[in-house]
Chain A
Amino acid sequence: MNPNPSLYSRRGFLSTSLGTAGAGLVLAAPNILRAAETGGSDAIHVALVGFGKQGEVLFNCLKNIPGLRFQAVCDISKNSINKFRSQSRGMANAEGAKFYEDIDDMLSKEQGLDAAVIATPDFWHSPHTVRCLEAGLHVYCEKMMSNTIDGARAMVHAMEKTGKLCQIGHQRRSNPRYLFTYNRLINGEKICGQIVNVNGQWNRSLGASQDIGGAKLAKSIIVPDDVLKRYGFKDMHQYLNWRVYRDLSGGPISDLGAHQIDIFNWFLGTTPKRVYATGGNSYFKNREHFDNVMCLFDYDTPQGEVRAFYQVLTTTSYGLGFYESFMGTEASIRISEIASTSAIYRESGDHVPEWDSLVERGFLVKKPAPPKPESSEGAVAAYESAAPDVYELPGSFAKPAHQPHLENFFAAVRGEATLNCDARHAFESEAPIFWVNPSALSHQPIELTSEHLSV
Chain B
Amino acid sequence: MSDTANDAASGTTPKLAFVYSALLLRLWLAVRAIQTGVEKFSGTAKVDGQAVQVDGVANTEGLTTVATSKAYALANYHGVPEALMKKFQEEPLMLKFALPLYDKLLGPALLILGLTILLGVAYRTSLFLLGLLYISLTWGLILINQSDGVAWLGTHMLLIVGALVLAEHNRLAIMKKW
Contact = CB atoms under 8 A, between A and B. Distances in A.
Nearest to B48: A398
B48 A397 contact: yes
Nearest to A363: B54
A266 interface: no
Interface in A161-180: 176-177, 179-180
A213 to B, nearest CB: 14
B46 interface: yes
A395 B63 contact: yes
B86 A176 contact: no
Q: Chain B: interface secondary structure?
A: strand
B144 interface: no
Given A362-B52, A362-B54, A363-B54, A397 B62 contact: yes
Nearest to B65: A395
B146 interface: no
A20 interface: no
Nearest to A178: B61
B54 A179 contact: no
Contacts of A393: 63
Given A361-B54, A361-B55, A180 B63 contact: yes
B76 to A, nearest CB: 13
A207 B65 CA distance: 34
B147 interface: no
Nearest to B57: A362
Contacts of B54: 184, 361-363, 394
B59 A398 contact: no
B47 A176 contact: no
A177 B48 CA distance: 13
Interface centre among B53, B63, B86 (most CB of A within 10 A): B63
A361 B55 CA distance: 5
A395 B86 contact: no
A372 interface: no
B55 A395 contact: no
A404 B60 CA distance: 13
A176 B53 CA distance: 14
Interface size class of B (residues with CB under 8 A): 10 to 19
A396 B61 contact: no
Interface in A148-195: 176-177, 179-180, 183-184
Contacts of B165: none
A251 B47 CA distance: 36
Contacts of A177: 63
B17 interface: no
Interface residues of A, number: 18
Given A362-B54, A398-B46, A180 B86 contact: no
B151 interface: no
A219 interface: no
A351 interface: no
Contacts of A89: none
A399 interface: yes
Contacts of A180: 59, 61, 63
Nearest to A361: B55
A183 B54 CA distance: 12
B86 A397 contact: no
Nearest to A207: B86
Interface in A374-399: 393-399
Contacts of B56: 362
Interface string A102-137: 000000000000000000000000000000000000
Contacts of A176: 61-64
B64 A362 contact: no
A207 B85 CA distance: 12
Interface in B34-60: 46-48, 51-56, 59
A362 B55 contact: yes
B63 A397 contact: yes
A361 B57 CA distance: 10
B66 interface: yes
A315 to B, nearest CB: 16
Interface centre among B46, B47, B56, B86 (most CB of A within 10 A): B46
Interface of B: 46-48, 51-56, 59, 61-67, 86
15 contacts: A177-B63, A180-B61, A184-B61, A362-B52, A362-B56, A394-B52, A394-B54, A395-B64, A395-B65, A396-B64, A397-B62, A397-B63, A398-B48, A398-B67, A399-B48
Which 5 interchain pairs have the tightest Cβ spacing? A176-B62, A398-B46, A395-B52, A179-B61, A395-B63
